[in-house]
């Protein structure tokens, strides 16, 4: 059976799955068990809000199609052909007719279209050249900085133009070990920061990230976005740096695993609202971390995401989160209170060893560690099973 018909059957039989990501993910695994790439692409289209927008459409003209594909291509650094394939698979499954750009094809008069609000213009960025020295290479979309070869100045502005050509990414390990740099300003226009880009930059206390930024680190544990090359990398973009505070722009759609692991001086983190998951080891061993502003659209906290955050005292998991995986808050010795909403239906799990408890062993927890939750919730059942004190959420 054709893939679009299979997906159409899912929509018809399980309409609630289009508002429940975890259920959709499970159903896609059943339908396409051998095609992980297809499942991931379909979920990316869902996560980007495109499926929700399609539900309000009867047809899709060329401009709308182009906008959807462009959003996936740029936001997740997916190849155009793959992005288009996933978008069109959803469109066919939802029975959308394909309209054109002229009045006869899309059925919309010119005056009617003129009244539609125009999309918000993309923020302009000023060209920023630099006299500092970089090694770089060209990609199909722009330049990728592969190594910083200048001296470690206290403040470094990463340029968006080198020799008249646009810089699109800071590649893997480009600034690794630059211990003398104290502040980095990433210029507007740069979209990707590679794995290990600022690894072991122990003097780096401050980073300014642009609104053009789409991703930090790899999209999964098996590699990097294509713009960063095909090498398998695991180190986080800012791992073991000296950052004290970081605000990740709302434009960022993924933050790779280990991205801020070992940042021992990191005190405060603000994550973008549309971030869907806090990946494995993202803030592991951030021993000074006190405040985390969680994404509003978060759905999962992955394995060991906050393991060893000794100073973290209070956590409020956002509504909509469905899973808190193994070891997510293990070793958080100062954690006294955590609010777990009714939406959470899994605590523990993930692809871990099974030996690391979500909140660590009893003797590792704060003596007053308490789960705040609602009566009858999964969190309450978990607390009772694990002999953890639970109280009614206010």
pLDDT in tens, 107-162: 343 333 334 444 444 556 788 876 668 999 998 889 999 999 999 999 999 999 99
Interval 160-218: pLDDT, tens = 999 889 999 999 999 999 999 999 999 999 999 999 999 999 999 999 999 999 999 87
Least confident of 41-45, 60-64, 75-79: 75-79
For the chain, give the longest Cα–Cα distance: 71
| Rounded Cα distance, 295 and 281, in Å | 17
pLDDT at 227 over 70: no
Q: Is 102 exposed, middle or buried (0-12, 13-18, 19+ CB in 10 A)?
A: exposed
Cα of 194 vs its chain's centroid, Å: 14
Within 8 A by CB and 6+ apart from 180, the residues are 151, 152, 153, 154, 203
The strands making up 314-316's β-sheet, listed across from edge to edge, are 314-316, 337-339, 370-373, 389-392
* pLDDT for 359: 96
Burial call 110-146: b when 16+ CB within 10 Å, e when fewer: eeeeeeeeeeeeeeebeebebeeebebeeeebbbbbb
CB 73 within 8 A of CB 85: no
Q: What is the mean pLDDT of the chain?
A: 87
CB 144 within 8 A of CB 158: no
**What DSSP state is assigned to residue 352?**
S
* Residue 158 CA: distances (Å) to CA of 60, 169, 170, 214: 39, 10, 9, 16
3-state secondary structure of 175: coil
**What DSSP state is assigned to residue 220?**
B
| Single pTM value for the model | 0.78
* pLDDT for 110: 38
């Amino acid at each position: 059976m054709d893939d679009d018909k299979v997906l159409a059957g899912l929509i018809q039989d399980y309409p609630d799955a289009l508002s429940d990501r975890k259920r959709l993910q499970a159903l896609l695994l059943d339908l396409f068990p051998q095609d992980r790439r297809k499942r991931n692409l379909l979920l990316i289209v869902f996560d980007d809000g495109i499926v929700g927008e399609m539900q309000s459409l009867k047809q899709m003209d060329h401009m709308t199609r182009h906008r959807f594909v462009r959003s996936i291509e740029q936001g997740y650094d997916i190849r155009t052909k793959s992005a288009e394939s996933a978008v069109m698979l959803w469109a066919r499954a939802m029975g959308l007719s394909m309209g054109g750009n002229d009045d006869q094809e899309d059925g919309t008069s010119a005056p009617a279209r003129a009244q539609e609000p125009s999309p918000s213009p993309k923020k302009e960025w000023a060209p920023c050249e630099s006299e500092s020295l970089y090694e770089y290479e060209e990609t199909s979309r722009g330049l990728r900085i592969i190594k910083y070869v200048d001296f470690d100045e206290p403040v470094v502005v990463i340029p968006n133009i080198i020799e008249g050509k646009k810089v699109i990414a800071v590649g893997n390990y480009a600034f690794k070990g630059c211990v003398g740099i104290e502040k980095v300003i990433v210029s507007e226009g740069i979209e990707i920061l590679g794995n290990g880009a600022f690894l072991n930059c122990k003097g780096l206390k401050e980073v300014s990230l642009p609104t053009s930024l789409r991703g930090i680190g790899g999209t999964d544990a098996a590699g990097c976005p294509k713009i960063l090359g095909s090498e398998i990398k695991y180190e986080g973009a800012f791992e073991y740096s000296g950052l004290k505070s970081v605000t990740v722009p709302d434009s960022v759609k993924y933050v790779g695993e280990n991205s801020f692991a070992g940042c021992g001086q990191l005190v405060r983190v603000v994550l973008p609202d549309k971030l869907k998951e806090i990946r494995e080891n993202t803030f592991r061993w951030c021993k000074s971390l006190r405040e985390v502003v969680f994404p509003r659209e978060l759905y999962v906290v992955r394995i060991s995401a906050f393991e060893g955050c000794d100073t973290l005292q209070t956590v409020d998991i956002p509504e909509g989160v469905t899973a808190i995986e193994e070891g997510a808050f293990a070793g958080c010795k100062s954690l006294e209170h955590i609010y777990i909403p009714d939406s959470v239906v899994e605590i523990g799990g993930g692809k871990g060893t099974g030996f690391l408890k979500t909140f660590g062993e009893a003797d590792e927890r704060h003596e007053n560690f308490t789960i705040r939750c609602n009566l009858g919730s999964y969190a309450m059942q978990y607390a009772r099973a694990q002999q953890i004190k639970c109280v009614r959420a206010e």
